[in-house]
Structure 1
Amino acid sequence: MTAEHAAENVADVTSPPSLDATVHQATGAGSSTLERRDRLTALLFERLAEARDDTERRRLRSEIVELNMDIARGLAWRYRGRGELLEDLEQVACLALVQAVARYDLSHGRPFQVFATPTIAGELKRYFRDRAWTIRPPRRIQELQGRIAGVLHDLQQQLHSSPTISQLAEALDEPEDDVIEALSADGCFTPQSLEAPVGPDPAMPAVADQLGAPERGFAELETSLIVGNAFAHLTDEDRRLVEMRFYQELSQRQIGEEIGMNQMAVSRALARILATMRVHVEA
């Protein structure tokens, strides 16, 4: 045997098999992509547990994160369409995946995906609960809304139609009033803009155009009723003075000339009348 052949034999004995080769041997040629990913993840965690060099540990963690990135993206995709950009949700999910890799303990015997999935989902739910609401409903309504989203698709498949409030409440074991409240809070992530049209046609009036405006008539009616009650307690002469001063808008001098009184007397009479009316208004 030549030296070259001997060296090759030594190399074959001393060099550890590649991860791909090890996974191929452990799972078989017909294994699915998911099975190979899970097995490769487990092997990487085994090497991580044995590694002592910090650089090597960081490299292995990075490989595990890259290998399982689809788990994070898949969970983020489930929460799409709720008012948050999918890219932002993926970022939250990927950060949660990094945390899951750092916290995973191989000795517990659970597959990494079993541990990572609720960890990532929990971070996504926390993101919506703490940051994504434009209008923040009570926490129980937030959580119930998430549960409704979780059972809605299954109920639609079973019933072949959209479930009623009572069917949702029964499936969730929640009062119907709470289900209604949670459904009514569906727009709290992204409320409709007041500038948006009321229908599909952009030329239709804006939502703001349909809102009511303060009605001055109600305040004027209330004032009229209050003043009218006080006015009813005045004598005919006092009512005439009030009408001339506040309805006809005559000056005190003009009133005096009209009824034959000097301006000072008119001023004192008006002061007395207003004091009397104030007593009845405040009564």
Structure 2
Amino acid sequence: MQMVTDGVVGAARETDTAVTLPEISGAMTALEVRQVSKVMFARLQTLEEGTADYQYVRNTLIEVNTALVHFAARRFSQRAEQMEDILQVGTIGLIKAVDRFDPDYGVEFVTFALPTIVGEMKRFFRDTSWSVHVPRRLQELRVDLAKATDALAADVGRAPTVAELAVRLEIGEEEVVEAMTAANAYSAASLDAPPTDESDGGTGWADRLGYDDNAFAKIEDLEAVKPLIAQLPERDRLILSLRFGHEMTQVQIGEQLGVSQMQVSRLLTRILNRLRTQALALP
């Protein structure tokens, strides 16, 4: 094994073109990578940080252990569209593992490095997969809530209540509700995506969210008529208020004003015709 180590390091140090680090790691077995790493970590401890020799040994350790990143990335193979990003953050985890590892831990570097690499990948998903920014506390609570929900559902044979989840997680019911609400922000559907209910005719969410509201036209008409109503005589304004504000019948209005229902009808017709004429004449 010492011959393998000497040959690798020696060949790479003699010339930059003699052998590249990726070629070294690709030509070595997993056992050889572990043994070479052990020797190099021992060597790294004897070098002063920041020197050229220290940087060379550190970079070599990173390169020969790159296979660990690809190995860890296999568990996220279903996210093929993000694989490039996964490998990048996994490499960051490998670099952190190299910088933090101490041979005196008494464990293999692989045992120490893999959790660090996988942790960086999971952190990447946790920070980028949410459609809406959610506090880290709620992101982590969402995972615990999902596990508790599945466990309780299996125990009681139904969906657990908020109170049951709170007891299971040893938190307040308010926190459970908050976590449930936050979980809705994990993913968002496209506005153009068709609904799951086929009875809606296959229209997208955008088609159902956007529609003409007739109330806007009523508001515009009301705002236009307001100054015209203010110019009416007090009795005419009272009749309008009783009819359309209090929704009184013409008979009830007549009784309050001391006139007949027929007179109230004629008065309303005159008032409304006046307002209509004045409104149509507005610029």
Scaled by the length of structure 2, the TM-score of the pair is 0.53
Conserved 8 A contact 1:84-1:132: no
CA shift for structure 1 position 191: 0.8
Aligned to 2:258: none
3-state SS, counterpart of residue 234 of structure 2:
coil
Aligned CA distance change for structure 1 residues 200 and 174 (closer, same or farther; 3 Å):
same
Give 1:164's aligned residue: 160
Q: Does residue 246 of the first structure (1) align with residue 275 of the second (2)?
A: yes
Match of 2:89 in 1: 92
Deviation at 1:199, TM superposition (A): 1.6
Q: CA deviation at 1:101?
A: 1.9
Q: Residue type matched to 1:72 in 2?
A: A
| Conserved 8 A contact 1:73-1:94 | no
CA deviation after TM superposition for structure 1 residue 197, in Å: 0.4
Give the Cα–Cα distance (whole angstroms) in 2 for the partners of residues 168 and 84 of structure 1: 35
Q: Which amino acid aligns with 1:124?
A: M
Structure 2 CA distance for partners of 1:250 and 1:189, relative to 1, 3 Å: closer
Of 36-45 and 116-125, the range deviating more from structure 2: 36-45
In structure 2, C-alpha distance between the alignment counterparts of 1:37 and 1:236, rounded to whole Å = 96
Deviation at 1:248, TM superposition (A): 1.8
Across the aligned residues of Structure 1 and Structure 2, the Cα RMSD in angstroms comes to: 4.9
Q: Deviations over 1:165-186 (max 9, x none)?
A: 5554444323344334334433
Deviation at 1:55, TM superposition (A): 3.8
- The match for 2:202 among 195, 201, 204 is 204
Query: In structure 2, do the counterparts of structure 1 residues 63 and 248 end up closer, same or farther at CA, with 3 Å as the change threshold?
Result: same
SS in 2 for 1:248: helix
**Which residue does 1:193 correspond to in 2?**
190
Match of 2:76 in 1: 77
| SS class of match (1:249) | helix
Counterpart selection for 2:2 from 9, 16, 33? 16
Q: Is the 8 A contact 1:38 1:112 kept in 2?
A: no
Tell me, what secondary structure is at the counterpart of 2:2? coil
Any unmatched runs of 5+ in structure 1? 1-14, 20-35, 253-283
2:151 maps to a residue whose letter is L
Superposition pairs of residues 50-65 of structure 1, within 5 angstroms: 50=43, 53=53, 54-65=55-66
Aligned sequence identity (%):
28
Following TM superposition, by how much is the alpha carbon of 1:114 offset from its aligned partner in structure 2, in angstroms? 5.0
Write out aligned runs for 1:1-283 (5 A).
Answer: 16=2, 41=34, 44-50=37-43, 53=53, 54-66=55-67, 68-69=68-69, 72-73=72-73, 77=76, 85-113=82-110, 115-148=112-145, 151=147, 155=151, 159=155, 164-166=160-162, 168-199=165-196, 204-211=202-209, 213=211, 215-217=213-215, 220=218, 227=226, 234-236=234-236, 246-249=275-278
Q: Determine the C-alpha separation between the residues in 1 that align with 2:187 and 2:70.
A: 27
* TM-score scaled by length of structure 1: 0.53
The alignment covers a number of residue pairs equal to 217
* 1:193 shift after superposition: 0.5
| In structure 2, C-alpha distance between the alignment counterparts of 1:89 and 1:126, rounded to whole Å | 10
Shift of 1:44: 1.6
Q: Verify the 8 A CA contact 2:130 2:186 in the aligned structure 1.
A: yes
CA shift for structure 1 position 99 = 2.2
Distance 1:156 1:94 in 2: 38
What SS does the corresponding residue of 2:59 show, helix, strand or coil? Answer: helix
Q: Distance in 2 between matches of 1:144 and 1:85?
A: 25
Query: Does the CA-based 8 Å contact 1:72-1:120 persist in structure 2?
Result: yes
